[in-house]
Structure 1
Amino acid sequence: MIQLIPLLKELVELECQEWASKKIDIKYEVRNNRKGYKAGALKKGMEHVYAQQCEFVAIFDADFQPESDFLLKTIPFLVHNPKIALVQTRWKFVNYDACLMTRIQKMSLDYHFKVEQESGSFMHAFFGFNGTAGVWRVSAINESGGWKDRTTVEDMDLAVRACLKEWEFLYVGDIRVKSELPSTFKAYRHQQHRWTCGAANLFRKMGWEIVTNKGVSIWKKWHLLYSFLFVRRVIAPILTFLFYCVVIPLSAMVPEVHIPVWGLVYIPTAITIMNAIRNPGSLHLMPFWILFENVMSMHRMRAALTGLLETAHVNDWVVTEKVGDLVKDDFDVPLLEPLKPTECVERIYIPELLLALYLLICASYDYVLGSQTYFMYIYLQALAFIVLGFGFVGTKTPCS
């Protein structure tokens, strides 16, 4: 895929030249460095004279494919309501059926858009910009301080600052933009690390700024600081891992530790039901979704702690690889093919395997000597960690 990047840039440039020859006002711009990563690129793009003359800016990642009428559907919301800073649209996934991992991602993102984004928009509460498939009012960007590269979530950073300036956001779920999900486990891990680490780091950097801001209500400060950032971006990933992957397995070996049934059932059942309602056709995949999310909770916890403590890897930015099917026709290489246990994998993930060993010990103890009945669940967890630890998830990637 890396070898294709120069070719893709050349094709994009030729396409822009073709449209320019038809008297269409279009520009092709590239940077000679990666300073500031995506935030740096957006900031650089907004410095051009022709960009400063625009009232609105639409933002898309490279793998997004908006329909030709995208602006005709989104711009009217901004034109008719000068208080709206952002119109966020829905993502539609062209490769959700590539493998089990992409199906699970779709389930999680459907929950995110329908429950978090849509409810936040409907209740006139804050919800974050997703970084792509959205249209911003340029004056709102400028008033909020522009794009900043202090975290790896420049989209959330800008949205929080715009909210503190009393700008409103609108989510329109009926407008959907085609995109691609990361289909390799390595790419998905990098993506989740960047999202989780950046959000936790943003909480560290903006916490006091939110508290001392005099322009917004106490309710909005509480929602931003406690609910949106602290609970969902810091506490949730840490507690999820510690509770389900450490405390419950350990309690099977320590009879004195008693976990109430509601603690085991209430929250995960509620979230599972909401996901099932949004994905009735994927109801049979819910057990796999639960186990996969348990494994990913380990990575999200590490990422959250990295962002919160601002360790050495806090600003690591790895572009999420999207394999697509660009060379399929020419070379007959089925890139979106699920990995088989007999095939070579790119790497073995030691942390997953070590935790799988810990879970196997706890489950076996509970089965032989324990008084709990957690061993069935813990064995399934151990199996999930083993499968992901050996890389047998997602689509195949070349072995290095």
Structure 2
Amino acid sequence: MLVTLYGLCLLLLLGFSLTQWQLTRLARRAYAAPAGPEPVPPLEWPRLTVQLPLYNEQYVVERLIDTCAALDYPAHRLHLQILDDSTDETVTLAAARVAHYRARGLRIDHVRRPVRTGFKAGALAHGLTLTDGELIAIFDADFVPEPDFLRRVVPHFFLDTPHGPQTGVVQTRWGHLNEEFSLLTTLQAFGLNAHFYVEQVGRQRGGHFINFNGTGGIWRRTCIEDAGGWSADTLTEDLDLSYRAQLRDWQFRYLPQVAAPAELPATMDALKSQQFRWTKGAAETARKHLGQVWRAGQPLSTRLHATFHLLNSSVFVAILLMAVLSVPLVFVRALGAQELRPAFFLAAFFLLALVPLTFYFHTAWQQAARHRRAPRPGFLGQLLLFLAFSMGLSLHNSRAVVMGLLGQKTAFIRTPKLGLIRRQGAWRGRQYRTSRLLSGLTWLEGLLTAYFLFGIGAGLYLHEYGLLPTHLLLATGYGLVFYYSLRHAA
């Protein structure tokens, strides 16, 4: 049983790793191909609505509205909607900025709902009933789009051929306002860059399903309506609507050359709330759409990629099971349990999964370096720390995945935005708590840190070194998560 369970977890991890390797190959082909000319601006710019969903964003709301009011677009075709469900002073701050820009002739509305039904999805759906926009741009509260964002993105909706599928979404790459703020934000940027520089590019190159990332992109209104509109029955309303739209043959475009800078969570409870929402929402979306994906008339490769795309959060469950099982494997030889020796040898293959992932992350690292003023050293160190940190989140994220697959409903907890840029500012005094300061799960993460340290000690004592690299990564990752959880709760 131990061998079977361990082997199944290993197969899932290898499958995920090989999928990322294939996406990397596709992305590298895309980057190697000659860049096409930028699309010609339309003769008449379409009516465009910028939706800004807010909930208690007092530290960034003024920056957001000021930034979006400065977007370069024909004023008579532009409409800004401040979709404000806040319950704090964000309401007053937003109202003042709306009045300021309205007095200067900007078409801008401060939309307040009596009840926060459907959370972000409900706010976006409600806003659609109050605007005539043909295109809908969406920015979360921490985003700071450049003034030329709309003029660079909108023309891509006019590349459609007369008989081809219409473009339903144009998504852009996320930039990072505070990547250098701390180790926590640096590691997040490292992981997100892989998604935006490799995954999205590779999926687009291969003709596979991609996803709207919740913000930093523009929808065609008719695409939203044709796909059934925004729904709050998953925590990732963006991924859900993306799959519904593409299953109805709408085309998505991704522009890695256009960045929409945003803030990364600077505290552990903020990061955990974001990770919970993303991993649980992905599992909920898989539960909702995976069967339909396989019944759709898509190529087998697209269905396989969609499966790993929707189930990628389940990797955390495999990591957690393998991690917990790995310590007893250290004692296999010492106890002479011959029937369990295959599991010990299987454990060594875990490191094979890191080879394609290294290729995947290094490609993202190279592409990110092109957008920096100077190359940043330390790839191997950041890769190992990122892998360790991701392993350290496996308990927290596994709980979210299981809840999502079982259909357990939870509230939409937004990620706090604190107005941090680079190394400027501080989160203390600004923190918006998303959960209890220290939960039982946090103490269990500390216990697992000790458990994997014991595994390291046992391996050294018994001269069994096959699992030592894995246990070093696990102890480091759980130690970091536990440390930051304690530190940021103080």
Q: What TM-score range do you get, normalising by the shorter chain?
A: 0.7 to 0.9
| 2:127 is the counterpart of 1:45 | yes
* Residue equivalent to 2:114: 32
Please tell me whether the aligned partners of residues 90 and 176 of structure 1 are also in contact (alpha carbons under 8 angstroms): yes
**Is residue 302 from structure 1 mapped to residue 399 from structure 2 by the alignment?**
yes
Residue by residue over 1:116-141, the C-alpha shift from the partner in whole angstroms, topping out at 9 and shown as x without a partner, is 11111222221111000000000000
- The match for 2:82 is none
Q: Equivalent residue for 1:247?
A: 325
In structure 1, the residue matched to 2:303 is 222
Which stretch of structure 1 is more off in the superposition, 275-284 or 163-172? 275-284
1:373 deviation in Å?
4.1
Residue type of the alignment partner of 1:254? V
CA distance in 2, matches of 1:238, 1:291: 15
Q: Measure how far apart 1:97 and its partner are.
A: 0.6
Q: What are the within-5 Å matches in structure 2 for residues 1-400 of structure 1?
A: 6-48=88-130, 51=131, 53-81=132-160, 83-213=166-296, 216-219=297-300, 222-223=303-304, 226-230=307-311, 232-234=312-314, 236-243=315-322, 245-255=323-333, 256=341, 257-260=343-346, 263-279=349-365, 281=376, 282-283=378-379, 284-311=381-408, 314-325=409-420, 334-335=426-427, 346-347=437-438, 349-375=442-468, 377-391=470-484, 397=488, 399=490
The answer on whether the counterparts of 1:252 and 1:362 sit within 8 Å (CA) in structure 2 is yes
Q: One-letter code of the match for 1:275?
A: F
Look up the SS of the partner of 1:18 in the other structure: helix
User: Following the alignment from structure 1 to structure 2, what is the Cα–Cα distance between the partners of residues 355 and 162?
Assistant: 42
Q: Deviations over 1:154-212 (max 9, x none)?
A: 00000000011100100001111110000101111111111111111111122333344
Deviating beyond 4 angstroms after TM superposition, the runs of 4 or more aligned structure 1 residues are 1-5
Structure 1, 66-75 or 152-161: larger mean CA deviation:
66-75
CA shift for structure 1 position 359: 1.4
Rounded to whole Å, the distance in 1 between the matches of 2:310 and 2:202 is 17
Distance 1:129 1:250, change over 3 A: farther
**Aligned-pair distance for 1:286?**
2.1
Return the offset for 1:318: 1.3
Deviation at 1:27, TM superposition (A): 1.6
Q: Distance in 2 between matches of 1:262 and 1:367?
A: 16
Between the aligned residues of both structures, percent identity stands at 28
For 1:288, the aligned partner's letter is: L
User: Given the superposition, is the C-alpha separation of residues 109 and 251 from structure 1 closer, same or farther in structure 2, using an over 3 Å criterion?
Assistant: same
Q: How far is the alpha carbon of 1:220 from its aligned partner?
A: 7.2
Measure, in 1, the Cα distance between the counterparts of 2:103 and 2:273: 40
Residue identity in the other structure for 1:153: T
Q: CA deviation at 1:39?
A: 0.7
Between the aligned partners of 1:228 and 1:109, the Cα distance in structure 2 is 15
The answer to whether the 8 Å contact 2:273/2:413 transfers is yes
Cα pair 2:57 2:417 within 8 Å, conserved: no
Question: Which secondary structure state, in structure 2, belongs to the residue aligned with residue 141 of structure 1?
Answer: helix
1:225 positional shift: 5.0
Letter of the 2:171 counterpart? Q
**Unaligned 5+ runs, structure 1:** 338-344
Aligned-pair RMSD on alpha carbons?
A: 2.7
Cα distance, 1:8–1:140 mapped onto 2, change above 3 Å? same
Distance 1:371 1:398 in 2: 38
- The change in CA–CA distance for 1:67 and 1:336 in structure 2 (over 3 A counts) is farther
In 2, distance between residues paired with 1:138 and 1:117? 22
SS at match of 1:67: coil
Cα deviation for residue 336 of structure 1 reads 7.9
Instruction: Name the SS for the 1:58 alignment partner.
Output: strand
- 3-state secondary structure, aligned to 1:279: helix
Q: Does the CA contact (< 8 Å) of 2:239 and 2:282 recur in 1?
A: yes
AA matched with 1:227: F
CA contact (8 A) 2:177 2:420 kept: no
| C-alpha distance in structure 2 between counterparts of 1:193 and 1:152, whole Å | 9
SS in 2 for 1:169: strand
Offset of 1:268 from its aligned partner? 1.4
Q: Per-residue displacement from partner, 1:61-94 (whole Å, max 9, x unpaired)?
A: 0111111111111111113327110000011111
User: Does the residue aligned with 1:139 lie in a helix, a strand or coil?
Assistant: helix
- 1:259 alignment partner, SS class: helix
CA contact (8 A) 2:316 2:391 kept: no
User: Secondary structure, in 3 states, of the residue corresponding to 1:98?
Assistant: coil
State the TM-score, normalizing by the size of structure 2. Answer: 0.71
- Specify the code of the residue in structure 1 equivalent to 2:449: A
Alpha-carbon distance in 1 for matches of 2:477, 2:288: 35
Alpha-carbon separation, structure 2, partners of 1:226 and 1:373: 32
Q: CA deviation at 1:398?
A: 6.3
Query: Where does residue 342 of structure 1 map in the other structure?
Result: none
Return the TM-score normalized by structure 1. 0.85
Residue 336 to residue 73, structure 1, CA distance change in 2 (3 Å): farther
* SS of alignment partner, residue 57 of structure 1: strand
